[in-house]
Structure 1
Amino acid sequence: MLVAWWLIAGLLISTGFKSSLVAHLTVEGKTPPIDTLGDLVNLDGWKWGFDDRLLTGLVLIYLRDSTDKDIQEIYKRHEKITPEEGLKKVLKGRYSFLSTKDRVIYLIGTQYTDEYGQSPFYISKQSYNIVPALGWGFRKGAPFRRPISKLICQLTESGLSHRWVNELVTINIRQIRETIRKQEQQQQQQQDSKEVNQMEEVTVSRS
């Protein structure tokens, strides 16, 4: 049995910056950045939700059975919500969304980031690693089991696997944003062409 380790980093997403960059340089924010679960539970009138795909298996057991007071409070007062609904609630204010790092970076990068790289969300600096294991089955006596197991451990320990995942996410975000940009340009061109045709029709009718 070959064991591969996966790191699930739960991130807190909150509305850290809603106004323009200039406004943030001159006006103090209404709330300090939320970087830890302790920061979150200590806020009055604040709510939060977990990614509905996250609350299964080991993650659910970890939250439910933890002896940490902050985690107990987080689990006690949480709601289960989809990423799309969670991010919309974050934008409304006084709400944080907890999910995996790669997932939220992808969603924010493709749906809530402008052409200048600006986003209305603040992603916590602190993440929480939960390490489950997935087993890969090989036939009994397979000669390549140990070499493959060793190679995966080396890739994980060196940080290469994490770097590759980050690069794939970044490339995917860039491609999707480029596709969206081209679609918007096409729609604008179609709208401009429609307006020109309408002006020509008006001109002809007047002549």
Structure 2
Amino acid sequence: MRSDQRQLLDTVDEALKRVLAGGFSFISFSNYVKVAVASNYADALGNSPFHLSREEVPVMAVFGWPVRSGAPFQYRFRDVMNRLEDAGITPHWKDEVIALRVKQNRADASKGQDGNSPYEAASFKQLEASQDLVLGIMHLQGAFYVLLFGSGIAFLTLLGERHYRTR
């Protein structure tokens, strides 16, 4: 990429509008862009006109927990924080915070407080009020139980026939 093609934009919304227009790519912090796209450009089902990469470039973000030197809980606190991170709880919390922020942004947009949303607030209400439901594995769980039950009965019948045939 030539240096004269790189641009510094003031807002994420401005950059996302340029991406929609075509011929422009945007690289920024993933959490901020996820919130902006989900709040302003995605429908109620989560579909958006953007492709967000699943791979992220790690950026060193260090958070400090200042405690008094030699505090009796210092090592235990660090151990608990490491366990929370290793268990995947902190990314789960991050996803919950993002979802809550998106929900708040959409609520503000539906009230008409956010006038710069590219989608109309009425379209959000229509999509959320829609009775269409996308079926997933959880919805088909009963069918799998019936299949498993039927396979079990068939197997027991096979065993019974084999047992009585050998006599």
Pick the TM interval, shorter chain: 0.5 to 0.7
Q: Name which of 66, 91, 100 aligns with 2:29.
A: 100
C-alpha deviation, 1:97, in angstroms = 0.8
Match of 2:50? 121
Match of 2:8? 80
Question: What root-mean-square deviation, in Å, do the aligned CA atoms of Structure 1 and Structure 2 show?
Answer: 2.4
Match of 1:143? 72
Instruction: Give 1 or 2 for the bigger CA radius of gyration.
Output: 2
C-alpha change, 1:78 and 1:145, in structure 2 (3 Å) is farther
Number of aligned residue pairs: 113
Matching of residues 1-207 of structure 1 within 5 Å: 78-81=6-9, 82-183=11-112, 184=121
- Unmatched tracts of structure 2, length 5 or more: 113-120, 123-167
Higher relative contact order (CA 8 A, sep 6+): 1
What do the CA deviations read for 1:19-62 (whole angstroms, capped 9, x no partner)?
A: xxxxxxxxxxxxxxxxxxxxxx6xxxxxxxxxxxxxxxxxxxxx
C-alpha change, 1:85 and 1:182, in structure 2 (3 Å) is closer
Give the SS at the match of 1:97. Answer: coil
Q: Residues of 2 paired with 1:120 and 1:112: CA distance?
A: 7
Of Structure 1 and Structure 2, the greater strand share is in 1
C-alpha deviation, 1:160, in angstroms = 0.5
C-alpha deviation, 1:76, in angstroms = 9.3
C-alpha deviation, 1:137, in angstroms = 2.0
What do the CA deviations read for 1:147-189 (whole angstroms, capped 9, x no partner)?
A: 111111111111100111101111221232134224446xxxx
Q: Residues of 2 paired with 1:139 and 1:115: CA distance?
A: 47
C-alpha change, 1:176 and 1:146, in structure 2 (3 Å) is same
TM-score (norm 2): 0.58
C-alpha deviation, 1:118, in angstroms = 2.5
Runs of 4+ displaced beyond 4 Å:
none
Q: Residues of 2 paired with 1:174 and 1:126: CA distance?
A: 24
- Unmatched tracts of structure 1, length 5 or more: 1-40, 42-72, 186-207
Q: Percent identity?
A: 28
What do the CA deviations read for 1:95-118 (whole angstroms, capped 9, x no partner)?
A: 111111211110011111223433
